[in-house]
Amino acid sequence: MSVEMEMHIDGIPELRSRLDQLDEAMKEHVHYGLAFEGEKIANVARALCPVKTGYLRSTIFGKIEDWILKVGASAHYAGYVEFGTRYMEARRFLSRAVELRMQSLVKAVHRAISWAIREASG
């Protein structure tokens, strides 16, 4: 069992349609900002991840798929560690990393969009 987190934000379909109307340079900046923050989130998750052999930590990833930032771990037991079982307490390394970096993620997307607006108007 692997674990993967997907973030859905209200208004994304409307935002996506508006972003589709902007130029490719802005899209690249938003994509870069998401990818950059995704790697930062993955790094925080690696730091928070409990370690016995290091395998779980080595499977942590952050990737962009069609305007969606996905952060997860592909180890078959990642879900058990993240959410716990009746035998062990949850060790929230992924969701905690997202919580810690959420403000930076929002700022990165805001900066990219602001840049595009400035470039388009100036």
Confidence of residue 115 (pLDDT cuts 50, 70, 90): confident
Give the C-alpha separation, 27 to 77, whole Å: 35
Q: What is the pTM of this model?
A: 0.77
Lowest mean pLDDT across 3-7, 19-23, 104-108: 19-23
Give the C-alpha separation, 72 to 80, whole Å: 13
pLDDT of 8: 63
- Domain boundaries along the sequence of the chain: 3-121
3-state per-residue secondary structure call for 15-55: HHHHHHHCCHHHHHHHHHHHHHHHHHHHHHHHHHCCCCCCH
Give the C-alpha separation, 31 to 96, whole Å: 23
Q: Examine the pLDDT at 122 and tell me if it is beyond 90.
A: no
Give the C-alpha separation, 109 to 74, whole Å: 26
